[in-house]
Amino acid sequence: MYMNRLIVAAGLCAWACAAQSVDPAKGLVLANSHVRFEFQPGGMGLAGMTDLAGGMNHLAPAGGPRLLWEISLGRGAQIRTFDNNYKPCNYAALEKTAVGGQRAVMEWNDLRYHLEDRVVSVRVTVDLPRDSGVAEWRIFVENQSDYWGLASVTFPVAAGFPRTGEYDIARPVFASGGHLLKAWSERVRGRHPSGGWPMQFAALSRGRNSVYFASMDSEGRAKDFLIEPGARLAMIHYPENIGVPGSDWPDHYPVAFGVYQGGWLEAARRYRPWALRQKWASAGPVSQRTGMPDLIKNTAIWVQDGWVWNEANGSPQEMNAPFREAQDRMGVPMALHWYNWHHMPFDNLYPHFLPPKPGFSERVKELTARGLLIMPYINGSSADYNIPDFDKFEPHAIQDEAGGLRQHFYSDSAGRLLSMCPTQEFWQDHISRLIDDLTRLGVNGVYVDQISAMEHELCFNKAHGHPVGGGRYWVDGNRALLRKIRNEAHRNGRNVVITSEGADEVFLDLLDANLTWAQPTDWEIPMMQVVYSGYTIFFGSPCDYTKSERFFNFAQGQALIDGRQNGWMSFGLFKPEHRRKAEYLRECGRQRVAGARYLTFGRLLGPVEPAKPVPTFSEDGFGWNRPHRGTVPAAEARLWQSEDGRLGIFFANYVDETVAFPYRIDPARFGLNRRVIEGAETLAPRQIKLVEVTE
C-alpha cells in the first residue's frame, strides 16, 4: 500500500540523512536559531512555537493533550473523527537534510479503528530550513478500510493560537486587496480556491512577532483556512473520493507554517516568489502578455450601469449620449461593464442570455467605434432551475453528498440559480458558444461572472468522471472552460477582453482583468497587489457617490495608488450635483495614464508610512457585508517600482485641506539595495501626485 512505500522511503532517507531516533514518550523538539517547535510526549501535539528573535511563544498554555492533526472518516451521512491523541505516536526521529536543515518525522502506524485492524497509518514530517523560522509541514494518510473513506484531514492544528484579541490578522478577501483585522477576536474561515480566499496564505501579528500560514498547492485543491481566536489555527484538506472506502491523502502539497519578524507586508513578499512560479503566473508580466488586449491595459476609468443611462431613452444614439458626454469630459480611455442588456430579468433564465434587447448591436457599434471597451455581463457558473430545458443541464450540475443540487439564494427577484460542474464539456461548450455569439454582435469585451468568485464546491456526481468530493477537478474544469472562452475571444483575429468577478489566483493567467467591487473599508490593505502587481490587472473602486467627498476621494485615491483601475459606478456620477467627485475620478484616470509604467506594468512594493502622523477622518458606511464607522488617514502613499528599476511614490490627499506628508523609506524592507529615501511633500487639497525617486 501507499503508506508502506512511504515508510520504506522514509527508512532509506533516514539511513542517508543519519536519522536520530526519538522516543515518542518523551516528546520532540525541532529548533534552529529562529524558532523552537515543541511536540508533546505521547500524542506529539504542538505544545510550543517560540520565536527566538522576539522571545515569544505564540501558543498559549493549555492543560491536557495538544493537537497536531484530526482525521475524519466518512460513509454516507456518517462521520467519525479522531486525532493524534487517539493512540500514541509509535515512531519519531530527527533527520539532517541535504541543505543544512532538519526534519522531524512522526508516525502513527497500523491503527485499529472502528472495529477494523491495521486500518489507518499517519505520517507527519516537518522540514525546518537552516535560515528561517517557517517550516514546511506535510501529512500522509493511508486508509485501508473496506468500509470507510476519508472525509477530511485537518493539519496542522495549533491549539491555543491565536490568543483572543491580541493578534492582527491579515487575510485575502473577496473582490479586494486584503483585510487587516486588528486585535481580532472573531472566527475567520475561508476556502481556497475561491474569490473569498483568493490567495493561499494569512499572517497573524502581535507587533513585529508574526506567524506565517500558507498552503503551497500548485494544483488548487479544496482546503479551508480556519482561525478561531482563543481556540485554534488549522487547515482543513478535502481529499479525492470523500467517503469512498480506502481513499487516502497522499500529501499533495506542504503547508508553510512558522514564525518571522515583520507584518503583513513581509508575509506578502514571502508569498510572491512562490506564487509567480505557479502556472497561473505562467503568462508572464503584463508587458509581455501578448494575448492581453491593449484596450484593457490602457483603460483608466470604468462605468457600470444597466440598459438606460441617466433616463436617456430614444434611438440607440440618443441612449448612448451619457457615455459620449462622459468620455469627452474624462478625456482618458474608458470602459463599460454593461448589465441588463439581455432580454430577461437579471439573475433569471441563465444561461439563456440571448437575444439582446433591441438596439444593442447598434449601440455597441457606435461606442466601440469611439475606442471604448464595451463589456456585457454573462454568468459562467450558474444555471436557472426554472429554464424550460433544464433537463438538459441537470445532469451536468454539481451535486452534494445526497444527490441534491447546490442552489443559491441571491435575491427574492432571482431565479433558482444553482452551480454547474465546470468539468462538464456540455457546460463548457455552451458558455464558449455564448462568447462567440456575443462577439458577433460587435462587443470587444465579455465579463464572465462568478468563475473567479465562487469557491470550490465539492461535487459528488459520480457520472461526471472526476473524483467525488475534493481534488483539483474544479480548478482544472474552470481552466478548461476559460481556455475555450479565450479561443473564441481570439478566433479569426478577434481581440476580445475576458474578465471575471473577484480575483482567484488560480485563474489569473486566463483572464485579462479581475473585478474588485468590494466597498471601501478602513480594513483595506493592498495584500494581493503586493503579490501580483505587474502580472495581472485589477479594476473597480465602487462606492456610494452620494456620501461625502472625502469618503469618495478615499475610495478612489486609495484604489489608484494601490494599482486598481478606477470606477465601476453608474453614469449618475456624472450629473451636475456630483461634479467635484467626477473631477477627482478624472484626476485618478489621468494619473493612471501618466504613471502606467508603475501602476500597470510595475510592482507595488508597499505602503509608505508618514514619518509623522497625518490627520485622520471618520465616516459611517465603511465595509460591505459589515458596515461600520471607520477612521482612515487624510492622505496615503505607496512605493512602486517600474520594470526598469525606477522607483516612484504615489501620494493621494483625500481631504479638502493641505496635508504635510514627511517620509523616510528604508529600501531594505522592500528587498532593495540602495540608500535610505527621505523627503517631505506638502499635498494641496485633493491632490494626487507621483514623485519619482532619483539616486
The pLDDT tens digits of the residues spanning 72-108 come to 999 999 999 999 999 999 999 999 998 899 999 999 9
Q: What is the pLDDT of residue 5?
A: 39
Q: Report pLDDT for 12.
A: 42
Q: What pLDDT does residue 669 have?
A: 85
State yes or no: pLDDT of 364 exceeds 70.
yes
* pLDDT score of 21 more than 50: yes
If you write DSSP's letter for every residue of 435-493 in order, what string do you get? Answer: HHHHHHTT-SEEEEETTTTS----B--GGGSS-SBSSSHHHHHHHHHHHHHHHHHTGGG
Instruction: Judge whether residue 11 has pLDDT over 60.
Output: no
CB 159 within 8 A of CB 44: no
**484 contacts 429 by C-beta, under 8 angstroms:** yes
- Report the distance separating Cα 551 and Cα 661, nearest Å: 20
Close Cβ partners of 690 (under 8 Å, ≥ 6 residues apart):
591, 594, 595, 598, 648, 649, 650, 651
- The CATH architecture assigned to 2-275 reads Distorted Sandwich (2.70)
Q: What single-letter amino acid sits at 10? A: A
What average pLDDT does range 496-513 have in this prediction?
98
Rounded to 5 degrees, what angle do the CA atoms 511, 515, 518 make? Answer: 155
Assigned C-alpha cell, 102 = 532538519
Residue 667 has pLDDT above 90, yes or no: no
Q: What angle do CA 482, 488, 494 make, to 5 degrees?
A: 125
Q: What is residue 519's predicted lDDT score, i.e. its pLDDT?
A: 94
CA gap 192, 372 in Å, rounded: 35
Is the pLDDT score of 4 beyond 90? no
pLDDT of residue 63: 78
Of 104, 84, 85, 86, the C-alpha closest to 94 is 104
484 and 428 Cβ atoms separated by less than 8 Å:
yes
Q: Name the nearest CA neighbour of 379 among 296, 309, 452.
A: 452
Residue appearing with cell numbers 533527520: 95
Task: Dump pLDDT digits (tens) for 244-298.
Answer: 999 999 999 999 999 999 999 999 999 999 999 999 999 999 999 999 999 999 9
Identify whether the C-beta of residue 49 lies closer than 8 Å to the C-beta of residue 161: yes
Q: Does 18 have pLDDT greater than 80?
A: no
Residue 339 has pLDDT above 80, yes or no: yes
Alpha carbon distance 354, 357 (integer Å): 9
How many Cβ atoms are within 10 Å of 166's Cβ, its own excluded? Answer: 17
From 237, 32, 245, 252, select the one nearest 128 (Cα to Cα).
Answer: 32
The percent of residues above 70 in pLDDT, for the chain, comes to 97
The model's confidence at residue 625, banded by pLDDT at 50, 70 and 90, is confident
Closest by CA to 642, choosing from 630, 632, 631, 650, is 650
Residue 6 confidence (pLDDT): 46
Proportion of the chain above pLDDT 90, given as a percent: 94
At the top level of CATH, the class of 299-377+424-456+472-515 is alpha beta
Mean pLDDT taken over the chain: 96
Overall average pLDDT of the 510-518 stretch: 97
pLDDT digits (tens, 9 = 90+) for 517-535: 999 999 999 999 999 999 9
Average pLDDT over residues 373-377: 98
Is residue 15 predicted with pLDDT exceeding 50?
A: no
Contact (CB, 8 A) for 175 and 502? yes
What contacts 24+ positions apart, CB below 8 Å, involve 52-58? 52/133, 53/133, 53/259, 53/261, 54/207, 54/208, 54/209, 54/259, 54/261, 56/206, 56/209, 58/158, 58/161, 58/162, 58/206, 58/209, 58/211, 58/259
How many Cα atoms within 13 Å fall on the side-chain side of residue 20? Answer: 10
pLDDT reading at 695 higher than 80: no
pLDDT at residue 671 tops 90: no
Average the pLDDT over 397-413 and give the result.
Answer: 96
pLDDT per residue over 22-70, tens digit each? 999 999 999 999 999 999 999 999 999 999 999 999 998 877 899 999 9
Band (pLDDT 50/70/90 cuts) for residue 670 is confident
In this prediction, residue 673 has a pLDDT band, given cuts at 50, 70 and 90, of confident
Which residues fall within 8 angstroms of residue 59, CB to CB, at 6 or more apart? 46, 47, 48, 49, 158, 159, 160, 161
Judge whether residue 8 has pLDDT over 50. no
**512 close to 579: Cβ distance less than 8 angstroms:** no
230: left (phi over 0), alpha (psi -120 to 50) or beta: left
Residue 531 near residue 178 (C-beta atoms within 8 A): no
Q: Report residue 64 CA to chain centroid gap.
A: 36
Do the bridges between strand 445-449 and strand 373-379 make them parallel or antiparallel, or are there none, so unpaired? parallel
Helix (H) or strand (E) holding 150: strand 149-159
Check whether 489 has a pLDDT greater than 90: yes
Maximum separation of any 2 CA atoms in the chain, in Å? 84
Which pTM value belongs to this model?
A: 0.96
Which residue in 539, 182, 30 sits closest to 334, CA to CA? 539
Q: Give 555's contacts (C-beta < 8 A, 6+ positions apart).
A: 519, 520, 541, 542, 543
Q: Where are the beta strands (DSSP E) in 603-646?
A: 603-607, 616-622, 628-633, 635-641
How far apart are the C-alpha atoms of 543 and 280, rounded to whole Å?
A: 30
Can you give the C-alpha Rg of the chain in angstroms? 27
Q: What is the pLDDT of residue 418?
A: 98
Say if residues 356 and 321 touch (Cβ distance below 8 Å): no
What is the rounded CA–CA span in Å between residue 499 and residue 482?
Answer: 10
Which range (57-61, 305-309, 465-469) has the least confidence?
57-61
Q: What are the start-end ranges of the H helices in 230-288?
A: 264-275
Q: Enumerate the domain spans of the chain.
A: 2-275, 299-377+424-456+472-515, 607-693
pLDDT of res. 549: 98
Give the separation between CA 349 and CA 362, rounded to whole angstroms. Answer: 24
Res 252: pLDDT: 97
